[in-house]
Every structure is written in C-alpha cells, then in structure tokens.
Structure 1
Amino acid sequence: MRLNDDLIASDIGAYLEAHENKSLLRFITCGSVDDGKSTLIGRLLYDSKMIFEDQLAALENDSKKVGTQGEGIDFALLVDGLAAEREQGITIDVAYRFFATPNRKFIVADTPGHEQYTRNMATGASTADAAILMIDARKGILTQTRRHSFIASLLGIKHLVLAVNKMDLVGYNQDVFDDIVADYRTFAEGLPGKVNIQPIPLSALAGTNMTERSPETPWYEGPSLIEYLETVEIEAEDTARPFRLPVQWVNRPNLDFRGFAGQISSGAVRPGDRVRSLPSGRETTITRIVTAGGDLDEAVAGQSVTLTFADEIDTSRGDMIVSADQPAEVSDQFQVHLLWMSEQALLPGRRYILKAGAKTVTATVNAPKHGIDVNTLAETPARAAELNQIVVTTLSLDQPIPFDPYKDNRETGGFILIDRQSNDTVALGLIDFALRRASNIHWQAIDISRDALAEQKGQRPAVLWFTGLSGSGKSTIANALQKRLFAYGRHTFILDGDNVRHGLNRDLGFTDADRVENIRRVANVARLMSDAGLITLVSFISPFRAERQLARSLMPEGEFIEIHVDTPIEIAESRDVKGLYKKARAGEIRNFTGIDSPYEPPRNAEIRISTADRTAEDAAEEIFTYLETHGFLSVWDGPGSGI
C-alpha cells in the first residue's frame, strides 16, 4: 500500500511539474460583432476537457432556454458571463479564460465586437501574444474587423489567426475563403507592425478545423486552430533587453531595511550590477534581490522583487530603476498614438491625468497632427478625437518621466489618460518618441525676480478671473474695477475675451476645442503678467471648469481669484447688447454658451457677484475690498526680493 501511495504521489508530482513547465500563450479573440468569438472560445474549452460535469449540465440547461440549435449546446454561454450579455447575445466585457492542452497552457481574452466597446478590446490586446481575428464568411471584412486589426498591430501583437468562421453556412466554399484572405492580405500590408498571418477556415459551432483538420475542407492544407496555437512561436522574455523595473512601492518595514519593489519589465539584474534611478539620474549598485522565498542571485523579466541599494539615493513610487549603461530616456514632451475611448471628444489644450505604470503626472494634449482611417489606413485631417478614433498627436507633461518607445518595450512605453473631472479613463496611449524641443529648450535665468517687480509697484501680483455667461457683465465690472485700482495708484491690465480675439487668438473659432485653446493661451499670458508684478483682470466666459483649473494651477498659491459673475441666462439674454443671443436662437451662431454649448459654473469661486440687483460700481467695490483685506494692495513683502 505504501508503494502504491508513493507511486501515485510520484505520478501527481511529475504531472504537476510537467504542467508547470509548459509554455504559456496569451491570446485574444477579436473582430466584428456576432462573428462567433465567444462560441469559438467555448468550443476550445469544451474540446480541451476544461468543463466540469456540473458546468456542462448547467450549460446544456441554459442552452435550452435560449433555443440553441445543432447539438444542443450554446458554447458562447461559457464566456458570456454578464446577464446583459446572455440576454442580448453579445459580448460587453472582456472575459478571461484558462485552458491547457498536453503541449501548452493558454489564457484567452474574449473581447467584444461592438464598436461601443472597442476600449475593452484594446485592454485585452495590450497583454496578448497573438490574436484570433474572427470573420463571418457570409459578411467578409467589415470596418470593425479592420479597426481591431489595426489596434492589435499597433499594440505589438505579431501573430494573427485569420479565422474565417461559419464556413458551414457558405457550403465550405474555397472561393469564399480565398477571396476573404486575399482582401485581408491587401489591407494588412499597411498595418503599423509586422504581423504573421495564418488563415484558417472554421466552423466554431460544428468544430470544423478546431482540433484537427476536417474532411469538410479537403482543399485546406494548413494546421487546425489548436495545432497552430500549440506551435506558434512565443516571444520569450528577452533578458538581453535593457533592465527596467518601475518602482511600485518603497518597502520600509523597519529602520534597518529600505528596498524598492516592483515587477521587472525587461532584462535581468544581479547583485553588484550598476543601476540608475530615473528621472533623477542618480547611480548606485544593487546589493540584494529580496523575495518572499529568499534572496536571489538573479532576477529576470516577469518576476516581482525588492531591490536594495548600496547608496542612499532618492527613489520613489513611479520612478524607474534601469541599467546604468543602457538607461531609458527621460522627457516631458512626446509624440504619441492615442486610441480615444470616451464618448466625450478630446479637447486639445485640455489637461488630463497621465498614468504610466505607477507614475501619475498631468498632461496637456495638443491638437492632433492627423487621424488614421481604419478602412484605408490613410492619414486623415483631425482637429480633435472622437470615440474609437486613433490619432497621432503630441503632449506635454508637468514633469519629466522615464520611458522607452512602445515599439521597444510595451511595458514602459504605454500609458492611459484620465479625465480630471470625472476620473474616467478616456484614452490609451503609445509613446512614439520624445520631442527634441523637450531637451533643446531651457529656462533662461533672469536676475530680477517677480517678487522684486511686485515690490517696486507696491502691490501683490494677482489674476482676477471673471467668468460668466455672455452679457453677464464681466467686462463692465472689470473695467470699473480697473478704474478704481488705477485711482488708487495700482498697476493693472485687462485681458478681455473680445479684445484678445482681435490678435493673439484671432485664429480660433468657438468650438469646444477652440475655447479650450483660447483659455490655455490667455492663462499663460496672465501668468506672465503676474510675473511682471501686475494685478491682471481676465474677462472671459471660460465655460469649462477644467480650463479654469488649468489657469489656477499656473499661479502661485493664493494669487488666483475666481470671480463668478452669476447672472441668470434670462437676464443676460434680455440685455443682449451685441445681439448674439438673438443670432444663436435663430441658428446663425453655433456653439453659443448657454444655448447649444454648456456652461459649467464654478463650485468654489473666491467671489460670487450677482448683477441682477446691483450696479457694476457696487460689484467693483466689493472686489476692491476683497483685494484690500487680503493684502493685495499693500507693499508686497514676498519670500524674496531684489536683484
């Protein structure tokens, strides 16, 4: 009995060891809606014996409820886990499933085909080694087929199965298959990355060419789907690539230990290796590689470790530890590819949160250079980016970050953009390269400080930002306040929305994107004027909170004063001095704030002025009193002055 137990234990151990040592392939299924992606994965799980008996019984029961034809099993139900997916017969979320064959382990992501959920497809593709692109043999190549192909190629997927599905519904006609393959190869010549294409004729529901070559397609001489997946070459973690470890956590359990924890993105590291911490650029030597199972003599890509340094150098969460002789680049300006994933359009000039690994910074997205037509892969003009649109643009960060171009390292060259107001993820981004101007442009040292200029004028610099609807009285109040300050001997300047559009911003229209750029320019001009020691009065509708927050962020703490001229639209429209509301109501003016373009009122303005029952002079006096009581009109005793 003991011998039998030992033999059983030995067999189990050998099996587990063999299973553990199998290679792992991550792949996705993608393509247009209802091309059979979920059915294909369900069939793979079924054929690889990865379904327990109780799951199979439940699957057969659920299949009866939805009226499945054929052999009585709806394989798609295995991966369509959401109630809404089962009710509608579509995939919404990304479903990850594990299965294995005698030769390999697999993690497959079933991604949705609907255009609305393209962002979910991109999420699944970002970590995949291969893609199965499903095509309905009856429909051929569709727009979403091309879009998914482009995204997969852009995200670095090098192996693609062109799975021409539902061949049983076209009588396994070879001409249909050959025409689809020829059309696709012509299209694929323009994809951004080099993709190895393996066409396979399939019927996922019937199991044709799934696990072995089918007699239904005697004209097809290639591998079955499983045969291909078991043998396709996986790009091994390249330890020859430069070492990269983004720091996720500073491990400080006690005063005697300080390490830097994260997952190695590429390369290998050993105790004694010389490394550099970015973006600071400080160098040191690795002393230990610490793991829960003990110290290592070497760690490679994919392993999560804690590194200790020979020297005390400043390294924080979001920094990157790299090989000293092959460091990553550091920059704050880039050209990037963006896949826009929000129903709210990209507004060039608006600031978003950029998250790259554990690093979070603020990014300003500039106007796109061009868009990409997913049908023809041609460059197209683009002033913004709509849902699912792919654009090439540049962006600027508020601080430099370490990176590698995405084509060189998927882990350190990708990022997401997050809306600052809603906290929604709005875009997936891939870094192409750093802009040369990022390293060629430097701050010029100036001997006379802004504090000295303010002291010379006997005042404290400030930006008074008047915001409100057209006709609310912003410019009238600003003009009255400037006269009051001038009489008091203070140095001021007014930046008025209409006046600025005669010069600095004459090239801008009134779309949301143009309004964002309008405010970005004016906010920077206002900051320069404050550096000159002036009290600057800015009178702009400035309808969006995000852009007013941008203006505030440019100023030193306490020197930005938001003034909400809170006038109901009925009163503003009744004044209509310029006749703009009348034209907007008649449809002669588009994108007019308060009519067909939104106004986002301030939530916490320093001053709120209601003009319904008071004069401009009264409002100006209230603001003057605020400035006086908060020390803006007295001699400026700043943190430093003089030359």
Structure 2
Amino acid sequence: MTTGVTDRIVASDVADRPGGLLRLATCGSVDDGKSTLVGRLLYDTKSVLADQASAIEEASRRRGQDTPDLALLTDGLRAEREQGITIDVAYRYFATPRRRFILADAPGHVQYTRNMVTGASTADLALVLVDARNGVTEQTRRHAAVAALLRVPHVVLAVNKMDAVAYREPDFASVVGEFTAYANELGVPEITAIPISALAGDNVVEPSAHMGWYGGPTVLEHLETVPVSQEVTSCHARLPVQYVIRPQTAEHPDYRGYAGQIAAGALRVGEPVTVLPSGRTSTVSGIDLLGRSVDTAWTPQSVTLLLEDDIDVSRGDLIVPTGDAPATTQDVEATVCHVADRPLTPGQRVLLKHTTRTVKAIVREIPSRLSLDDLSPHPDPGQLVANDIGRITVRTAEPLALDRYADSRRTGSFLLIDPADGTTLTACMVGASFAEAAVAVDEEGWDF
C-alpha cells in the first residue's frame, strides 16, 4: 500500500541530512486543527514560497479573515477551501537543517477514513490531534485504531487549542489519560503527548511562554529527533523485481540486471538468493547503485542486482536470501480496509497487486467486519462498504510469496483492484487479526 511518492525516494536522497527522511501523517477529528498545525509547521520553518503566501492571504481576505488562514496551505482543493474542511490527503514536503519530511494531512470526517489509511500506510509517525475542549472523540479513537492496525512505529498526541482552555495543565492531563487508556487497549507501547496551540504557535516550532508546567519538546523538536531506521537490516531482505535490464552494448554484451527498490533488509555480494515464486537459486555477483558498484545495499535503495547464473527472472518476481525465503501460497487471509464506493462481496473477481506482481484472484470469504468504536468483530457481514475494516480470504490464480504485515509493511501488504476499470478496491494487510496484531506489537515492539 504505497502512495507512489515514497517509491521514488532512494537512500541517496535521505542521506544528505543528519536525521534522514521522516514520513508523518496528521489525523484527528473534524476541526481539531490539523491543517492549521501543518500550515504553522510550514510557515514557521520558512517552507512557504512567496507566491504561496500571497495566494493564501488573498484567499483568506475573500473569506473575510484579517489574518492569513494557515490551514489553506494544505487544503489545496477548491471544494476544501469553500467548505473549510479537508476531504483528501494533502501531501507536503519540507525540510529543516536536521531532517527532511514528507507530510500527509489526512481528512477528519468519518466518511474519509479510507483516506487516512492511505496517508498512514507508509508513515513512520502518526500525529493525532485532539481539541482540548472536546477531548477524545469517536473519530479520534477510529484514527488511533487505524494507526495501530497499520503499525505506524511512532504515535504523537498533540492536544491542540490549549489557548481556548487558558493553557490549563489539568485539561491537558485529562485528554492524555483518556487517550492513553484507549491506546493501551490497541497495544500502542508508547505515546508522546505535547500541549499546543496551532493557531497561536505555542509548542509547534517555538516553545510556549504560556505553559511553564510543560518541559517536553515542541512538535518540530520531536519530529527532528525521533529515531527512524533507514537501514532495516533486522528485517528479511526482499527485492521485488521491477525491470530486467539488458543493454545489449559492445562494452557489456552479457549484462543482465534485475532492477527494483529493496523493500526490506539488506543484500550483499556473494549472498545465496532464491527467486520466487519459481524457487530457482543463484548467488549475488554484483550490485549496481546509481552507476557504481557496491558490496551491500539496503532498504529503501533502488538498485540493479546481478546474479552468477543465467536464470529466468522477470518483473513481479521476488529475490530473497536462500536461507530466509517465505513460503508461496495461493490462499491469502488478510485484514483489509475497503476504500472504494462499490462494495466488496464474496465471489467477486479482482486483480491482486503485491509489490510489482499483479495476478488474478477471487474473494472467497468475508469472515468479519471490525467495529473501531469498541474493537469488536461482527461475523459474516456479507460485504464490506467504503471505510469498512474487516477480514477476508482470497484465492489467487498464481502463487505469491507473502510476508506477515508485522514483519514487513511492504511485502506484507497488497491491493485488490477492479479488473474492469483499474479502480483500487481494498487495501490489505497479510496475517494476524486485529487483536493478534495488537498483542504482537506489545510483545515485539514497533521496529520492523
């Protein structure tokens, strides 16, 4: 479940700043101030161009506002600006001297939960906003559950609009206690709570002068320092083949390379590997990275792999270490979020896209649908409609090499696609049920 944005980022892009790259998603209830917070981050970090600032000022004047509405920096769609809400995932890119950021501002309305799934699916950190006046709402719990389900490694609770409650510490502590109790049920091991006012700028980029009782970091300080592992050597090495390179030149007449982005772990020259689903084996004879040869490559670098043996490898195959090859299967069970307006029903024929491989499949069963309000399963729902989260079983026409989502968010996820028009129907996570996933998080931690 990738957005297409992060797929184009290779290790060389994130190595030029000390903190690397952080992908974060903001989420929370309607009018909790997500877009204003994002606008404040962009504005106070000098990440807004002059023409953007002018456009925001003009749009704010048309709406009768005396000061620029920083929320408009992310609410880019005309419909959003007219309604004053966020209805799509707005991606923004900014940087500080310490780190680069890709930020996904997810919508707050319940009918756009599927958009939040899109924004959080590749996030390293979920920034959950709560209005200090309203406390934890149903949609706050829904977004926290989705972040836990998608195994977002870090969760930040930003208690916003502290200026509206006179910056009182008890109001902050009450929200933190309620949210923490719910998050513990989800298996979230640690939460960083920060009191802020996005409108006034308190504790967003600069420390607040109104909350002497708070001694923690600002939002930006935490985002700049939270640990994000770019080299996931503890994960199983996985290279989905995207393209077979055969230049047919006089200089390299026998060159045959397998290009793709490493989805997890590290690969090394001399390492025995297996190509799935065929099961053929070989040894890594070379790794080309950005026009030069290297001995080792790791996620998320985009590389070309050379093998000692001339074996049949094509787009959609998965290259893995021989001693750590996942089993192939045609029967898949997964937790899913249905994102299309058309319902998903048993017996429906679909296309299944896993990394770079697309195969025909059929939905065999929908055993349950999850209620995110009380985390209870509802058996035999008959179908999944837009924004539903549930369990499905799928039968594929060809074998697939799948990991558990707990082991790899890339190779443990897939999409169901409408074969008629190419519409994405469902985002899927392989393996454990929601309750089992929460236990696994609690036992294994969040570093995958």
Scaled by the length of structure 2, the TM-score of the pair is 0.88
Q: Kindly state the Cα deviation for residue 106 of structure 1 after the two structures are TM-superposed.
A: 1.7
Q: CA deviation at 1:359?
A: 0.8
Say if 2:226 is the partner of 1:232.
Answer: yes
Residue 114 (structure 2) pairs with residue 119 (structure 1): yes
The residue number in structure 2 matching 1:347 is 345
In structure 1, which of residues 265, 268, 274 is the aligned counterpart of residue 266 of structure 2?
Answer: 268
Indicate the residue corresponding to 2:42 in structure 1: 45
Asked if residue 417 in structure 1 is aligned to residue 423 in structure 2, the reply is no
SS across alignment from 2:353: strand
Deviations 1:377-415 (A, max 9, x none): 122223321221111232211111011101000110011
* Residue 66 of structure 2 is aligned to residue 60 of structure 1: no
Asked if 1 retains the 8 angstrom alpha-carbon contact of 2:114 and 2:386, the reply is: no
Whole-angstrom distance in 1 between the partners of 2:188 and 2:398: 34
Report if aligned partners of 2:330, 2:396 keep a CA contact under 8 Å in 1: yes
Match of 1:606 in 2: none
The yes-or-no answer on 1:89 pairing with 2:84 is yes
Asked whether the 8 Å contact 2:347–2:363 carries over to 1, the reply is yes
The one of the two structures with greater contact order (alpha-carbon pairs below 8 A, sep at least 6) is 2
Q: Determine if contact 1:248/1:261 at 8 Å carries over to the other structure.
A: yes
1:216 aligns with 2:214: no
Contact 1:140 1:180 in 2 (8 A): yes
User: 1:416 offset after TM fit, Å?
Assistant: 0.8
Q: Aligned partners of 1:423, 1:298: CA distance in 2, in Å?
A: 37
The Cα of 1:274 is off from its aligned counterpart by 0.8
CA separation in 2, counterparts of 1:295 and 1:133?
A: 43
Percent identity of paired positions between Structure 1 and Structure 2 = 47
> How far off is 1:292 after superposition?
4.0
Deviation at 1:56, TM superposition (A): 2.5
SS of the aligned residue for 1:118 comes to helix
Question: What is the aligned partner in structure 2 of residue 391 from structure 1?
Answer: 390
From the superposition, tell whether residues 125 and 18 of structure 1 become closer, same or farther in structure 2 (CA, over 3 Å).
closer
**C-alpha separation in 2, matches of 1:366 and 1:195:** 35
- Paired residue for 1:548? none
Question: Which residue number corresponds to residue 442 of structure 2?
Answer: none
Question: What's 2:254 paired with?
Answer: 256
In structure 2, the partner of 1:402 is 401
Q: Give CA-to-partner distance per residue, 1:506-557, whole Å, 9 cap, x none.
A: xxxxxxxxxxxxxxxxxxxxxxxxxxxxxxxxxxxxxxxxxxxxxxxxxxxx
What's the counterpart of residue 23 of structure 1? 20
Unaligned runs of 5+ in 2: 1-12, 434-448
3-state DSSP class of the match of 1:366?
A: strand
Instruction: Calculate the aligned-residue CA RMSD, in Å.
Output: 2.1
Give me the whole-angstrom Cα distance separating, in 2, the residues matched to 1:176 and 1:202. Answer: 12
Query: 1:298-338 CA distances to partner (integer Å, 9 max, x unpaired)?
Result: 21111111112211222211110000111123111122101
Are 2:130 and 1:135 aligned? yes
Is 1:372 matched with 2:367? no
Return the match for 2:155 from 149, 156, 160.
160
CA distance in 1 between counterparts of 2:417 and 2:213 reads: 50
Q: Deviations over 1:426-466 (max 9, x none)?
A: 110000069xxxxxxxxxxxxxxxxxxxxxxxxxxxxxxxx
1:206 lines up with 2:170 in the alignment: no
Partners in 2 of 1:376 and 1:423 — Cα distance?
A: 34
CA contact (8 A) 2:362 2:394 kept: yes
The question of 1:430 aligning with 2:425 is answered no
Structure with higher Rg: it is: 1
CA distance in 2, matches of 1:236, 1:129: 11
Q: In 2, are the aligned partners of 1:353 and 1:362 still within 8 Å (CA)?
A: yes
- Find the aligned partners of 2:184 and 2:376 in 1 and give their Cα distance: 12
Can you list the C-alpha shifts for 1:462-497, whole angstroms capped at 9, x where unaligned? xxxxxxxxxxxxxxxxxxxxxxxxxxxxxxxxxxxx
Q: Which residue of 1 aligns with 2:297?
A: 299
Measured after TM superposition, the shift of residue 197 of structure 1 is: 0.9
**In structure 2, how many angstroms separate the alpha carbons of the residues matched to 1:238 and 1:392?**
29
User: What is the deviation of 1:140?
Assistant: 2.1
Q: 1 or 2, which has the higher helix percentage?
A: 1
Q: Secondary structure at the match of 1:200?
A: strand
Secondary structure, aligned partner of 1:305? strand
Relative to structure 1, the CA distance from residue 19 to residue 61 in structure 2 (aligned partners, 3 Å threshold; closer, same or farther) is farther
Deviations 1:217-250, CA, capped at 9 Å, x for gaps: 2333322211211221223421233221001111
Please name the residue that 1:333 is paired with.
331
Aligned runs of 1:525-536 on 2, under 5 Å? none
Distance 1:183-1:21 versus aligned 2 partners, 3 A rule:
closer
Deviation for aligned residue 1:195: 4.2
Aligned-pair distance for 1:187?
A: 1.2
Asked whether 1:177 is paired with 2:176, we answer: no
Q: 1:397 to 1:86 in 2, by over 3 A?
A: same
More strand by share: 2
- 2:439 aligns with none
Structure-2 change in CA distance of 1:118 and 1:17 (3 Å)? closer
Quick one: distance in 1 between partners of 2:356 and 2:363?
20
Following the alignment from structure 1 to structure 2, what is the Cα–Cα distance between the partners of residues 101 and 139?
33
Q: How many residues align?
A: 416
Once the two structures are superposed, what CA deviation does each residue of 1:142-193 show, in whole Å capped at 9, x if it has no partner?
Answer: 22222211111111212111111112222223333222222111211222x5
Q: Does 1:186 align with 2:181?
A: yes
CA deviation vs aligned residue, 1:66-120 (integer Å, no higher than 9, x gap): 2235xx1110111111111211112222222222223222221111112232222
Provide the secondary structure at the position in 2 that maps to 1:243.
coil
Distance 1:433-1:261 versus aligned 2 partners, 3 A rule: farther
What pairs up with 1:237-248 in 2 under 5 angstroms? Answer: 237-248=231-242
* Equivalent residue runs for 1:584-603 within 5 Å: none
**In 2, Cα distance between the equivalents of 1:258 and 1:236?**
28
Q: Distance in 1 between matches of 2:45 and 2:331?
A: 49
SS at match of 1:257: coil
